[in-house]
Amino acid sequence: MNLDELTQRMHRIRDNNDWKQFHSPKNLAMAASVEMAELVEIFQWLSEDQSRQLPADKLAHAGQEVGDIVLYLVLLCAELGLDMNEVVRNKLADNERRFSK
């Protein structure tokens, strides 16, 4: 996945729809949170086993919500001037340091 290309494509959609005015870090974080809630809703009331064996339609829906979340986070990183690859690598290294035995 090329994050620069994703960012450019998302900015093109944003600009074509005059949405830049709405893409503040606060709004993008809230939008990602709303999409996360939509993902959580797919799993609501399912057992652990059911959550691992989603029917095809629910699995596709989950994929759509994951895509929404990732794309909002790509936009958020761009707005904040964060390099997503760098912040993810740094966080992974921190987790490895903290949780590896």
Interval 8-12 mean pLDDT:
97
**Whether 74 contacts 3, CB under 8 Å:** yes
Residue 12, both tokens: 């093109």
Instruction: Tell whether the model's pLDDT for residue 7 goes beyond 80.
Output: yes
Residue 61, both tokens: 């829906």
Q: How many residues belong to the chain? A: 101
Residues contacting residue 72 through CB under 8 Å, at least 6 positions apart? 28, 31, 32, 35
Task: Give the pLDDT score at 97.
Answer: 97
CATH superfamily of 3-99: MazG-like (1.10.287.1080)
Mean residue pLDDT of the chain comes to 97
pLDDT confidence tier of residue 1, bands split at 50, 70 and 90: confident
pLDDT digits (tens, 9 = 90+) for 50-97: 999 999 999 999 999 999 999 999 999 999 999 999 999 999 999 999
pLDDT digits (tens, 9 = 90+) for 38-53: 999 999 999 999 999 9
Specify burial of residue 14 (Cβ count, 10 A radius: 0-12, 13-18, 19+): middle
Task: Give the pLDDT score at 24.
Answer: 98
Task: Give the pLDDT score at 101.
Answer: 81
Task: Give the pLDDT score at 40.
Answer: 98
**CB half-sphere exposure, 19, CA atoms < 13 A:** 13
